[in-house]
């Protein structure tokens, strides 16, 4: 019989398997006091009863992931068609010219791999130039724009970095989500009340689903690593965000299972110092590839530093990256880390992980700025409650819908679900429609005028304000419109890992 431990590197874990659960099985979770009768949940048998109090969150997570599995192909199809339409209109200048070109038989057709093809995220906010008022060396420089650019294809990224940002692209990567290794694990199959073994690699997405790029800025002698975030029509990305699975590591505490696998966790080994990162079949692992590339570029002969940035899921990977560097005692790299800048980042780990990272922030003195815009629901997940106790840490740079900022320890309504916030959220969503199309362009200039695609998303936000508030445009605006006083604190505070004042500016 196989070991009762799910992984040799973790004796405590919770892994949900939505692919193994029927819709009927999901609802059985709610009316039984015995978790064993309801769903397939992988955890140490001695901790099974402990997870009963989490059944509501387990039900919600499994349900949402099951819906995403069913909706994956329709989501992908809608996303592709919408992106093609946006680029078709853009390539032909506007709808009127497109109609004329159609009549003349001269329609310009978009190519997904071309250097001008925009993603859905790019269509929401077409700005590609860096803000001229934000100078090199500024803590706001490059972060939000790099996080936004990470959603684009390689040719597009290369063109923007070369022609607009005047920097050098070191690499554009599509990383493997899961080490391709087959072995068996012990599974408690709760629905059918039997014990069996299943292939280990079933728990991975087995796709090149983690993307990042690395760029060098000669002006500041800085390398920037940008992780791609949650793509709007990618069901796998959303499933990763909504999965409440976790692994507990002795030194680091409990960490979100989907995020660590996306970064390159090796099944049965966890985070070994080195792996055979073979690229013969395109199976590069994110953490190990980026770490070795940084070691190649950062050496005792130079003073080059680096920063890490990302939006949404990319933000989670951004803060996990230095966490694993610390686990491996990569002192040279951590001493060269200038900062981690995340935008709409979900929670990553528990209280022990928070304490582990606070020690690293103090020891190495790098900035960690976590930007949260207004009603964005993603930074408020997974929940920080008695069941799961996921924790944020570091500085929360919180902005309301008018981009007035505060430096806080935690964003308001930290778990999103709040009866008191329901009405203000919907009022904010209505105000955003007027603000983005009329008020902000009049006050701040034409570059702040929102696209018709973003206005459609704002309309969707009238019903679901937490999702529409997650777009990258608001985070780019927030970094550009931040007050001088808050900027000065972020830029010049002698302890950049911890700056909390609670004052709105």
Secondary structure element (H or E) that encloses residue 90, with its range: helix 55-91
Question: Is-catalytic flag, 376?
Answer: yes
In the chain, the N- to C-terminal Cα span, in Å, equals: 61
Alpha-carbon gap, residue 40 to 48, rounded angstroms: 11
Calculate the alpha carbon distances from 40 to 6, 200, 455 in Å: 14, 15, 41
Tell me the backbone φ, ψ of residue 215, rounded to 5 degrees: -135, 150
Q: How far apart are CA 372 and CA 346, in angstroms?
A: 10
Q: What is the DSSP letter of 415?
A: T
Exactly one of 25, 376, 384, 474 is catalytic; name it. Answer: 376
In Å, how far from its chain's centre is CA 105? Answer: 42
| Strand runs labelled E in 176-265 | 184-189, 194-199, 210-217, 222-227, 246-249, 253-256
- Helix axes of 55-91 and 95-104: crossing angle, nearest 10 degrees: 60
Q: Output the CA torsion 155→158→160→165 (10° steps).
A: 180
**Partners of 342 in beta bridges:** 310, 370
Exposed/middle/buried for 303, CB within 10 Å: 0-12, 13-18, 19+? exposed
Which tokens is 213 given?
């790029």
DSSP 373: E
Q: Which of 7, 311, 392, 470 is catalytic?
A: 470
Look at residues 364, 421, 361, 425 and name the one whose alpha carbon lies nearest to residue 395. Answer: 361
Catalytic residue among 10, 119, 239, 312: 312
Answer for the pair 15, 257: CB distance below 8 angstroms, yes or no.
yes
Q: Rounded CA gap, 145 and 132, in Å?
A: 13
> Which two three-digit tokens encode residue 224?
């920037």
Closest residue by Cα to residue 258 from 324, 194, 175, 348: 348
- Residue in the block written with tokens 């709040």: 418
Q: What is the DSSP string of 250-267?
A: TTTEEEEHHHHHHHTPBT
Rounded to an integer, what distance in angstroms lies between the CA atom of residue 267 and that of residue 200? 7
DSSP 53-81: GGHHHHHHHHHHHHHHHHHHHHHHHHHHH
- Cα separation of 233 and 243, whole Å? 17
Active site residue 413: no
Q: Whose CA is closest to 214, among 163, 158, 132, 166?
A: 158
Residue 379 tokens, joined = 């930074």
Catalytic residues: 312, 376, 470
């Amino acid at each position: 019989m196989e070991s009762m431990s799910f992984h040799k590197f973790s004796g405590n874990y919770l892994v949900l398997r939505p692919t193994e659960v029927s819709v009927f099985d999901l609802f059985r979770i709610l009316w039984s006091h015995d978790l064993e009768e309801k769903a397939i949940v992988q955890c140490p048998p001695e901790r099974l009863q402990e997870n009963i109090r989490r059944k509501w969150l387990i039900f919600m997570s499994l349900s949402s992931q099951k819906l995403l599995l069913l909706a994956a192909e329709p989501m992908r199809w809608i996303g592709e068609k919408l992106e093609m339409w946006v680029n078709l209109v853009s390539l032909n200048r506007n709808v009127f010219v497109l109609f004329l070109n159609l009549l003349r038989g001269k329609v310009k057709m978009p190519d997904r791999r071309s250097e001008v093809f925009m993603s859905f995220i790019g269509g929401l906010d077409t700005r590609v130039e860096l803000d001229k008022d934000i100078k090199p060396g500024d803590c706001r420089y490059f972060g939000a724009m790099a996080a936004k650019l990470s959603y684009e294809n390689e040719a597009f990224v290369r063109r923007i970095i070369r022609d607009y940002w005047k920097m050098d692209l070191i690499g554009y990567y599509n990383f493997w989500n899961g080490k391709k290794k087959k072995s068996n694990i012990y599974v408690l199959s709760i629905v059918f009340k039997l014990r069996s073994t299943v292939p280990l690699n079933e728990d991975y997405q087995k796709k090149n689903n983690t993307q990042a790029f690395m760029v060098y800025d000669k002006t500041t002698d800085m390398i920037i690593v940008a992780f791609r975030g949650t793509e709007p029509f990618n069901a796998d990305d959303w499933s990763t965000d909504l999965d409440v699975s976790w692994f507990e590591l002795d030194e680091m505490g409990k960490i979100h299972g989907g995020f660590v696998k996306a970064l390159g966790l090796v099944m049965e080994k966890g985070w070994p110092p080195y792996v055979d990162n073979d690229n013969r079949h395109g199976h590069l692992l994110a953490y190990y590839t980026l770490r070795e590339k940084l070691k190649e570029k950062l050496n005792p002969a130079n003073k080059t530093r680096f920063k890490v940035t990302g939006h949404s899921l990319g933000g989670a990977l951004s803060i996990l990256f230095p966490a694993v560097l610390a686990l491996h005692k990569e002192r040279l790299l951590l001493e060269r880390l200038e900062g981690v800048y995340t935008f709409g980042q979900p929670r990553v780990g528990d209280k022990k992980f928070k304490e582990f990272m606070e020690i690293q922030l103090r020891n190495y003195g790098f900035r960690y700025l976590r930007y949260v815009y207004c009603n964005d629901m993603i930074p408020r997940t997974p929940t920080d409650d008695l069941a799961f106790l996921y924790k944020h840490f570091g500085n929360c740079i919180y902005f309301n819908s008018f981009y007035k900022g505060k430096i806080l320890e935690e964003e308001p309504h930290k778990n999103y679900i709040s009866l008191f916030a329901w009405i203000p959220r919907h009022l904010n969503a209505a105000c955003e429609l007027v603000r983005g199309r009329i008020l902000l362009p009049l006050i701040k200039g034409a570059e702040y005028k929102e696209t018709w695609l973003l206005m459609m998303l704002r309309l969707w936000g009238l019903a679901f304000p937490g999702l529409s508030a997650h777009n990258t445009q608001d985070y780019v605006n927030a970094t550009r419109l931040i007050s001088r006083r808050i900027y000065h604190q972020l830029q010049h505070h002698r302890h950049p890992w911890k700056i909390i004042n609670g004052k709105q500016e």
